[in-house]
Amino acid sequence: MSAARDAGDDKLAVTLPADSAENIRSAAEGEGLSLEDFASEAMKRYAREVLADRRLFLVPDTDWSALEALLESPPADAPRLRRLLDDEPGAE
């Protein structure tokens, strides 16, 4: 994140116990990141994990027909995947 923030950027302040803050600070330094960048990357990664585990996805009405078409169309042929699935385990 840059020092000059865009108008759309959100600011988040977090209070942590001293030992947690020190661990996070050490990890950020170990990665060569500022505390802000480290925290931002960690939150984005966790958000992607949480969202990937969802079983209910909300799709705007404007995109519903495109999603339906994708789901109903036959899958594209993937030769490497087909070979992987066709191979018997242990056969070489």
Instruction: Supply the pTM of this predicted model.
Output: 0.51
Average pLDDT across each block of 10 residues of the chain; the chain has 92 residues. List them in order. 62 89 94 94 94 84 91 90 84 64
pLDDT of residue 11: 87
What DSSP assignment string belongs to 15-82?
---HHHHHHHHHHHHHHT--HHHHHHHHHHHHHHHHHHT-S-----HHHHHHHHHHHHSPPPP-HHHH
pLDDT of residue 37: 94
pLDDT of residue 45: 95
